[in-house]
Structure 1
Amino acid sequence: MQLLAIGDNVVDYYEDQDMFYPGGNALNVAVLSKRAGARASYIGILGNDEAGDHVLQVLKQEGINISRIRRAHGQNGMAVVKLNEHGDRVFVRSNKGGIQSELGLILTAEDAAFIARHDVVHTSVYSRIEHALPELYRLAAVSFDFSTTHDREYMKRVCPHLTYAFFSGSGLTKEECLLLLEDASRFGAETVCVTRGEEGAVLRRGGDIAEQPVVPVQAIDTLGAGDSFIAGFLTAYMNGSSLEKALGRAAEAAADTCLTYGAFGCGRPFSLKDHA
């Protein structure tokens, strides 16, 4: 199975550690799907700063196809993360995606030929390429992470071009999650999944509903668990596993991610105070 992730990348800067880790939904799914057994590629814009250098080095180290990557003069995306009073990591601020958000990712004819060689393309609400979804859907299966965006008008615009739609539903009741599944399915997404944190996940394909409990672990960092769930599911399902087995593999992948810092490790010492 060949997966291509297009769009957002950042480094997640952990204030309590003075470390940053590669991140961003699209980049995470590329790396985590490769670790799960897929052949993975990534298209995005990296800054020409220390953060961009580190992201590029990690992508090479992980064996990701980066032949269509862009680099530009400016800051790479960075999000600042800290521990709250409960010991959970929360995003406190960011540079809004850095240079990629400033320039916008424009896909070329050469990109289209490259995209068509993949089985599935994954992107996200943070990647700002909704305009390209009809073309992507023509070229390959499309996976999209809505994160916590549940706006129905936005869903109506995006869902007709999706094979797989993923939502974060932490804090929603089960009834609210089922309604979200129904709406996204009615708007055109073929397979819809809502992850619910400690409550597991619920998925709808056609008229069928499947539920998946979490795999319990002693988590040290939950950042990236949702992205790992997506990567684990797509890799397993598109390699021929049943929905139930793919959901189980996704839950295991999410649990594994909770055992390391960052979405997939690869941290580097860094201090924002030295770069103020």
Structure 2
Amino acid sequence: MNLIAIGDNVVDIYQDRNEMFPGGNALNVAVLSKQYGAKKTAFIGIIGNDVEGEHILRSLKQNQVDTSLIRIAEGESGKAYVDLNEEGDRIFIKSNKGGIQSKLKLRLTEEEYGYIKNYDVLHTSIYSHLDEELQQLKSILPISYDFSNHFTEELLEKVCPHITFAFCSGSHLSDHEIEELLMIIHRLGTPNVIITRGSLGVVMSSKNKRYSQGIIKANVVDTLGAGDSFIASYLTTHFNGLSIELSLEIAAKNAAKTCEVNGAFGCGKQLIG
């Protein structure tokens, strides 16, 4: 299978380690899908002309992700600062709100729409500012969309009619609220809904048929990127022809492995000073 991801990218700056790691939902899914067996992956996004942007670009190339359509713009790349809390879990401290990519809207050209046709699935996210393009993109290929935990009614109504896979973070929701969310997203037109629930595992509804998957134990070092790993693994195995049940199981295993390394996929770089 071939996967293309469009949108958000950052460097996660680990203050306790004085080290930065490439990240961002769309970028992570492109890299991890390639690691999990995709024949080809590509990433389209906007990065800054700074040291962080250079590191993002270099990391993508090292992981054999096609970067030919990335835009490099004058300004800061996206930066998110993270640290450890008293329990040893990673917590977000601050960010520059996406840097230059939040100031410039990514507009796809007709040539790029033609290029996208070479892929089996497109993944994007709430942070990717691609919502206006979804209606046109859905006529080309299936779309996967990560809502994180920010799925407002207005956003769901705007996005769900155009996507095939909806991923949501729902560890804060009750069983009743999970069921309501599944039904709302289906009613708006999305056939496949996957809700991650932290230690409670994953609930999936495919055309109103329910599936569940528990978590896999791991020697946790860093939980950042685990959700992105799950998405990348599920999409890759699913489009490689595996069953829903097996795809969910493999995705849970890969998410656990991601928790055992710093960053979503490594590629750390020490900061100067």
- TM-score (norm. length: structure 2): 0.98
**Aligned 1:88-237 pairs, distance under 5 A:** 88-237=89-238
CA distance in 1, matches of 2:247, 2:180: 23
Q: Secondary structure of 1:103's partner?
A: coil
Cα offset for 1:150?
2.3
In structure 2, the partner of 1:256 is: 257
Preserved contact between residue 22 and residue 267 of structure 2 (Cα < 8 Å): yes
CA deviation vs aligned residue, 1:104-160 (integer Å, no higher than 9, x gap): 111111110111111100000000110001111111110000001121121011000
Aligned-pair CA distance for 1:65: 0.9
1:176 offset after TM fit, Å? 1.6
Q: Give the match for residue 64 of structure 1.
A: 65
Separation in structure 2 between the aligned mates of residue 249 and residue 169 of structure 1, nearest angstrom: 20
SS at match of 1:222: coil
**Counterpart in the other structure of 1:37:** 37
Question: How many pairs were matched up?
Answer: 272
Runs of 4+ deviating beyond 2 Å? none
SS in 2 for 1:46: strand
- Give 3-state SS (helix, strand or coil) of 2:168's partner: strand
Return the offset for 1:24.
0.2
Offset at 1:270? 1.1
1:220-261 Cα deviation digits (max 9, x unpaired): 110000000000000000110010001011101100100000
Retained in 1: the 8 A contact 2:201–2:215? Answer: yes
Distance 2:143 2:48 in 1: 26
Q: Distance in 2 between matches of 1:172 and 1:219?
A: 24
CA contact (8 A) 2:202 2:213 kept: yes
SS in 1 for 2:147: strand
**Deviation of residue 73 (structure 1)?**
1.1
SS in 1 for 2:154: helix
Task: For 2:64 and 2:123, locate their aligned partners in 1 and report how far apart those are by CA, in whole Å.
Answer: 18
Pairing 1:270–2:271 present: yes
Contact preservation (8 Å) 2:186, 2:208: no
**Counterpart position of 1:15:** 15
Distance 1:156 1:104 in 2: 21
Cα distance in 1 between the residues matched to 2:119 and 2:23: 22
Quote the Cα distance in structure 1 between the aligned partners of 2:54 and 2:102. Answer: 18
For 1:139, give the aligned amino acid. Answer: I
What TM-score do the two structures reach when normalised by structure 1? 0.97
Letter in 2 for 1:5: A
What's the CA shift string for 1:145-186, capped at 9, x where partnerless? 000112112101100000000001122222222221111111
Counterpart residue identity of residue 203, structure 1: M
Further displaced range: 145-154 or 47-56: 145-154
Task: Name the aligned partner's letter for residue 97 of structure 2.
Answer: K
SS in 2 for 1:185: helix
Matched, 1:27 2:27: yes
Aligned residue for 2:103, secondary structure, equals helix
SS at 2:238 equivalent? helix
Structure 2 counterpart SS, 1:86: coil
